[in-house]
């Protein structure tokens, strides 16, 4: 079942189309990646999903009903990219305040704060002030305040920026846990290696338009170039075949080959088998999301857009 | 703790529930985080003293620094020697060996040259001195000379000096008691000096608090913006709730401060009662019954009793309920009116420096209003005072200055109600305007904005 679906969402500013006719659907319990270069319209899109902005056109269906920001806001946890907390306020009070703004009662909030603080080893922070925390610590606290009210939909905009690998892994595990328990996670970033690791489903936004939508596996299949890597035991004298061409050879007799149209991978193997060369390994080379991202976005002048007037 | 609860009750009746639950939380945070602060406690206690210093300090200094003049008079008519009266600060002496070249070396601060004949207009009296005289001293010397001339002319006309003296003492006993006519033939004493004090004081207090609390709202919003918590919060509440929560919370801090000050004043009054001797209080009571006159019996009235009576009597002649009620109304109205503008300005800036150019258009009308107050307390019926007290930009301060002179005497009811109505309409408009600007501004980082752009945000559709 879809927790969120966007239908022809548009948001135009005076000088540009920030989000231009974007539609997609997110399944409940999935980890969804929202990708795009700076200024692609990710933040604007997220602000519409969190009810901060209203779309100019289009509808948002949340949890089976038309999105009602006033009430649905409590079922959403949003960690914006531009985030921070009150500097002079005590950590504990701060968490309590934010939880209660999400509609939790004082007792409920206290219980949940206790649970999370213990889980992430933050109990001793209660009476500290924001200004006493390191950047990584405040990121952790920020994450806790985002998920404290057990939202159905968790939106994380660049959640790992500023975290060391240890804490990043801690948060990553929690994200997987939350997804397993049924929460849906929207994950916005331009760090592709994290997306490959975490997300099931991604869309790519550029210049306000959706240019890619699918599962990580599916997209990689769509963008593959029929390239294979083949490890041979000894160097072949010369390679001459109608089925494929050799793109690259390295010193350890590892070849990168591209199969021509109308041939299959088996044709590569049978060629080397006929030559009597021992094959040690054979695998398909799939493009990384990073490659796909760069290929799609490069040359569209996407980066200059972020400097234009937004208001 | 009581005030926020009262505020929430009041707002709950006015606004839908969803708005209140969260706005209430924001109000609570804004209020408690400020009231618990040490600076709040210190300023609340020190402010009255600072005020007293501001009012009495200059008066004390000017009393102490009066010029003491010792003037040598060169009188060729010989008449002035017996007729020129000294005052507290000015002494006239008639030494024979003094001229315009040596008066300073003989210890005189100035030398006065009397012309040969007196009484004819155009005769020149010349005062020479090393330094410029104060304007008060010049006037005092002139009036003394005039009095002496007058005496001389009257004596020339055949009136005895003794007759003249008794005429003088008798003619200077009149004091003016002003009575104000109210409805139903009720009359009450009016007290211009007290009205002036109340008008000026409350106008000044509103002026000061509007600036202080308005700026506090702006700083609070800038802090939320620069610490990047604004977007976190507006994903839980509407931006308008966050803005109103802040404005109302800080307004409640202001009210708390006033309540503490009023309580302090009452405490002092009660203190006077408790520590004064019982017979003094009896005397005061007796005076109250007889309308201030100790008639008939020979009971001696002590000075303390008289002082307490006169304070209580003057204070009692003022309609305090009306004044305090109006004060709270105009403080709140004016505060919300201006605080929302400050909020709008605070939402679009990242640093203190760029905030200054945006606040000038807001502080200017506040300062200008205070100038109108200074005029209105002297002339509460003037057209400047009238318009100033009707237009919402200045009405909180100017109307308070006029109300002190009496309602409905000086300020008819229709004027009061019109002014209140327009102020409410005014702050509804400014909060609406500020809400629109705030919503866009609070999420915008690293961009310079001016009032022109802000107006565009306000008047575009969602």
Does residue A212 share a domain with residue A234? no
CB of A42 less than 8 A from some CB of B: no
- Enter the tokens of residue B247: 């404005």
Domain range for A137 is 2-221
Mean predicted confidence (pLDDT) in B74-103: 77
Q: Are the C-beta atoms of A44 and A19 separated by less than 8 Å?
A: yes
Q: Which of B232, B236, B457 sits opposite A73 (nearest CB)?
A: B236
User: Between B461 and A75, where is the model more confident?
Assistant: A75
Q: Choosing among A13, A71, A75, A80, which should be mutated to test the B contact, i.e. which has the most B CBs within 10 A?
A: A80
Half-sphere exposure of B10 (CA within 13 A, CB side): 8
What pLDDT does A125 receive? 86
**Strand extents, DSSP E, B130-257:** 179-181, 187-189
What pLDDT does A310 receive? 42
Q: Where are the alpha helices (DSSP H) in A159-256?
A: 165-180, 192-198, 216-222
Number of domains making up chain A: 2
Q: Are the C-beta atoms of B115 and B104 separated by less than 8 Å?
A: no
Q: Are the C-beta atoms of B402 and B380 separated by less than 8 Å?
A: yes
Does residue A192 share a domain with residue A245? no
How close, in Å, is residue A72 to chain B by CA atoms? 10
Q: Note whether A73 contacts B235, CB cutoff 8 Å.
A: yes
CB of A182 less than 8 A from some CB of B: no
Domain annotation covers residue A20: yes
Does residue A190 share a domain with residue A101? yes
CB of B17 less than 8 A from some CB of A: no
Domain annotation covers residue A190: yes
Sequence ranges of chain B with CATH classification 3.40.190.10: 69-163
Mean predicted confidence (pLDDT) in A109-132: 88
Q: Count interface pairs A-B at CB distance under 8 A.
A: 71
- The CATH code of the domain that includes A230 is 3.30.70
Domain annotation covers residue A73: yes
Domain annotation covers residue A58: yes
pLDDT at position B295 over 60: no
For B69-163, CATH gives: 3.40.190.10
CB of A85 less than 8 A from some CB of B: yes
- For A48, which residue in chain B has the nearest alpha carbon? B235
CB of A13 less than 8 A from some CB of B: no
pLDDT tens-digit series, residues A169-227: 888 899 999 999 889 999 888 788 888 888 889 998 888 888 888 888 888 888 888 88
CB of B443 less than 8 A from some CB of A: yes
pLDDT tens-digit series, residues B339-357: 999 999 999 887 777 788 8
Cα A278 to its chain centre, rounded Å, is 41
Q: Which of B18, B21, B440 sits opposite A311 (nearest CB)?
A: B440
Q: Note whether B228 contacts A54, CB cutoff 8 Å.
A: no
Domain annotation covers residue A301: no
Q: Note whether B234 contacts A52, CB cutoff 8 Å.
A: yes
CB of A82 less than 8 A from some CB of B: yes
Residue ending a domain, among A221, A242, A267, is A221
What pLDDT does A308 receive? 44
CB of A94 less than 8 A from some CB of B: no
**Separation between Cα atoms, residue B340 and residue B432, nearest integer Å:** 9
- For A51, which residue in chain B has the nearest alpha carbon? B235
Three-state SS string across B428-441, please?
Answer: HHHHHHHHHHHHHH
Which DSSP category does B114 fall into? E
pLDDT tens-digit series, residues B266-287: 887 777 777 766 777 777 777 6
Domain annotation covers residue A211: yes
CB of A219 less than 8 A from some CB of B: no
Does residue A195 share a domain with residue A142? yes
Does residue A127 share a domain with residue A30? yes
Does residue A215 share a domain with residue A165? yes
- The CATH code of the domain that includes A153 is 3.40.50.300
Q: Are the C-beta atoms of A236 and A206 separated by less than 8 Å?
A: no
DSSP H/E element including B109:
none
pLDDT tens-digit series, residues A283-306: 888 888 888 888 888 877 655 554
pLDDT tens-digit series, residues B379-420: 888 889 999 999 999 999 999 888 888 777 778 889 999 999
Does residue A184 share a domain with residue A242? no
Domain annotation covers residue A291: no
| Region at B130 (left for phi over 0; alpha for psi -120 to 50; beta for the rest) | alpha
- Radius of gyration over every alpha carbon of chain B, rounded to an integer in angstroms: 31
Q: Which residues fall within 8 angstroms of residue B136, CB to CB, at 6 or more apart?
A: B67
pLDDT tens-digit series, residues B239-274: 899 999 999 999 999 888 888 888 887 887 777 777
Contacts of B440 in chain A (CB under 8 A): 311
Q: Choosing among B227, B231, B452, which should be mutated to test the A contact, i.e. which has the most A CBs within 10 A?
A: B231
Residue ending a domain, among A197, A221, A245, is A221
Indicate the average pLDDT of chain A: 85
- The whole model's pTM is what? 0.76
Q: Which of A70, A74, A85 sits opposite B229 (nearest CB)?
A: A85
Does residue A74 share a domain with residue A122? yes
Q: Note whether A79 contacts B232, CB cutoff 8 Å.
A: yes
pLDDT at position B9 over 50: yes
Does residue A266 share a domain with residue A197? no
Does residue A269 share a domain with residue A251? yes
Q: Choosing among B223, B234, B235, B249, which should be mutated to test the A contact, i.e. which has the most A CBs within 10 A?
A: B235
Q: Which of A47, A83, A311 sits opposite B228 (nearest CB)?
A: A83
pLDDT tens-digit series, residues A47-63: 899 888 888 889 999 98
Domain annotation covers residue A300: no
Contacts of A54 in chain B (CB under 8 A): 462
Specify which residues A5 forms β-bridges with. A25, A61
pLDDT tens-digit series, residues A151-166: 999 999 988 887 888 8
């Amino acid at each position: 079942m879809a927790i969120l679906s966007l239908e022809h969402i548009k948001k135009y500013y005076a000088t540009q189309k920030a989000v231009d006719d974007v539609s997609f659907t997110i399944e409940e319990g999935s980890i969804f990646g929202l990708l795009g270069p700076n200024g692609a319209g990710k933040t604007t899109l997220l602000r519409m999903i969190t009810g901060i902005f209203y779309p100019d056109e289009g509808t948002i269906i949340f949890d089976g009903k038309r999105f009602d920001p006033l009430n649905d806001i409590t079922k959403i946890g949003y960690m914006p990219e531009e985030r921070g907390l009150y500097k002079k306020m005590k950590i504990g009070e701060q968490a309590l305040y934010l939880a209660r703004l999400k509609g939790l009662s004082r007792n409920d909030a206290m219980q949940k704060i206790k649970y999370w603080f213990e889980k992430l080893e933050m109990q001793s922070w209660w009476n500290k002030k924001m200004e006493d925390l390191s950047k990584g610590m405040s990121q952790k606290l920020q994450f806790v305040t985002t998920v404290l009210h057990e939202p159905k939909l968790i939106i994380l905009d660049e959640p790992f920026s500023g975290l060391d690998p240890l804490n990043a892994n801690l948060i990553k595990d929690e994200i997987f846990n939350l997804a397993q328990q049924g929460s849906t996670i929207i994950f916005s970033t331009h760090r592709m290696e994290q997306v490959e690791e975490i997300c099931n489903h991604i869309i790519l936004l550029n210049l306000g338009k959706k240019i890619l939508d699918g599962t990580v596996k599916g997209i990689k299949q769509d963008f593959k170039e029929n390239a294979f890597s083949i490890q041979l035991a000894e160097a072949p004298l010369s390679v001459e075949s109608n089925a494929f061409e050799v793109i690259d050879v390295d010193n350890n007799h590892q070849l990168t080959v591209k199969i021509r149209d109308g041939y299959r991978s088996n044709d590569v193997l049978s060629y080397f088998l006929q030559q009597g060369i021992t094959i040690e390994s054979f695998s398909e080379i799939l493009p990384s999301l990073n490659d796909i991202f760069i290929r799609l976005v490069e040359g569209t002048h996407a980066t200059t857009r972020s400097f234009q007037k937004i208001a | 703790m009581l005030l926020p609860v009262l505020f929430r009750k009041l707002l709950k009746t006015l606004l839908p529930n969803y708005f209140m639950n969260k706005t209430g939380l924001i109000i609570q945070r804004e209020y408690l985080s400020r009231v618990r602060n040490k600076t709040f406690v210190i300023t609340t206690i020190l402010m009255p003293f600072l005020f007293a210093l501001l009012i009495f300090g200059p008066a004390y200094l000017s009393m102490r620094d009066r010029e003491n003049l010792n003037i040598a008079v060169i009188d060729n008519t010989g008449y002035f020697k017996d007729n020129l009266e000294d005052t507290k600060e000015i002494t006239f002496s008639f030494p024979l060996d003094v001229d315009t070249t040596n008066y300073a070396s003989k210890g005189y601060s100035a030398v006065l040259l009397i012309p040969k004949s007196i009484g004819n207009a155009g005769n020149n009296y010349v005062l020479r001195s090393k330094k410029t005289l104060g304007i008060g001293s010049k006037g005092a010397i002139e009036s003394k000379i005039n009095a002496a001339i007058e005496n001389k002319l009257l004596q020339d006309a055949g009136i005895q000096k003794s007759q003249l003296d008794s005429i003088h003492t008798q003619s200077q006993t009149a004091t003016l008691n002003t009575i104000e006519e109210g409805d139903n033939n009720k009359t009450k004493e009016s007290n211009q000096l007290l009205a002036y004090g109340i008008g000026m004081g409350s106008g000044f207090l509103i002026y000061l608090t509007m600036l202080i609390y308005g700026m506090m709202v702006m700083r609070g919003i800038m802090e939320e913006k620069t610490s990047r918590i604004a977007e976190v919060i507006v994903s839980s509440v509407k931006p308008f709730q966050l803005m109103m929560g802040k404005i109302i919370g800080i307004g409640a801090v202001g009210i708390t401060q006033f309540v503490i000050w009023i309580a302090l004043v009452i405490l002092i009054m009660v203190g006077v009662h408790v520590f004064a001797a019982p017979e003094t209080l009896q005397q005061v009571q007796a005076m109250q019954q007889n309308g201030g006159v100790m008639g008939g019996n020979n009971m001696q009235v002590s000075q303390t009793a008289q002082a307490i009576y006169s304070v209580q009597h003057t204070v009692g002649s003022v309609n305090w309920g009306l004044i305090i009620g109006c004060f709270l109304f105009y403080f709140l109205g004016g505060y919300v009116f201006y605080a929302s503008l400050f909020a709008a300005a605070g939402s679009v800036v990242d640093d203190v420096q760029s905030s200054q150019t945006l606040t000038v258009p807001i502080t200017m009308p506040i300062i200008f209003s205070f100038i109108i107050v200074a005029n209105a307390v002297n002339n509460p019926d003037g057209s400047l005072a009238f318009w100033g007290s009707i237009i919402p930009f200045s009405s909180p301060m100017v109307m308070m200055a006029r109300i002190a002179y009496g309602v409905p005497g000086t300020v008819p009811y229709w004027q009061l109600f019109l002014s209140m109505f327009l102020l409410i309409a005014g702050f509804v408009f400014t909060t609406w305007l500020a809400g629109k600007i705030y919503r866009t501004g609070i999420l915008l980082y690293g961009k310079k904005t001016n009032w022109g752009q802000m107006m565009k945000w306000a008047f575009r559709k969602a």
